[in-house]
Amino acid sequence: MGSSSDTGALLLQRQLQELNRHPIEGFSAGLVDDSDIFKWEVMIIGPPDTLYEGGFFKAHLIFPREYPHRPPKMTFISEIWHPNVHHNGDVCISILHEPGEDKYGYEKASERWLPVHTVETILLSVISILSDPNDESPANIDAAKEWRENRDAFRKKVQRCVRKSQEAE
């Protein structure tokens, strides 16, 4: 039996081939560098009919050697203003949290990382929070407060990020 990093590498290789063969609307994904299957660069296209529409948001997905038993870390490289994204770009959503029970009791184990998750399910979850932020347990308190209390200011900041992301293209 090979080591767990072999398993992870094989799974990631398979997902990469699958995504290349059957691209999914809303994002594109590839490797940062062809020699490292554990480091992905993804481009999320701002979903239509959301404040993020028209944006091209670049992010990195860094998989641990223990993948699929542990989740990757996702970090936006593009500037993005969102309640579930830390100021430094780290994405904070349940399915990227370590598996098992939440010691704070916010999340059920079933909402957290499970080995069945793939690049596709992760990115679809991220796209869905762009449409519908979860301000219950925000990563970016300022963005969450603005989302709740001052939608106009929130919208302006997001539009600035969208414009910046278009220039970076």
Measured between alpha carbons, how far is 147 from 154 in angstroms, rounded to an integer? Answer: 6
Name which of 42, 46, 78, 47 is nearest 60 in CA terms.
42
**34 Cβ partners below 8 Å, 6+ apart?**
none
Whether 161 is a known active-site residue: answer no
**Torsion angle of the four alpha carbons 67, 137, 129, 118, in this order, in degrees rounded to the nearest 10:** 10
| From 42, 59, 91, 92, the catalytic residue | 92
Q: What angle do CA 86, 147, 83 make, to 5 degrees?
A: 20
Here the contacts of 69-76 (C-beta below 8 Å, separation 24 or greater) are 69/4, 69/99, 69/115, 70/98, 70/99, 70/113, 71/95, 71/96, 71/97, 71/98, 71/99, 71/113, 71/117, 72/40, 72/96, 72/122, 74/42, 74/122, 74/126
| Catalytic positions | 92
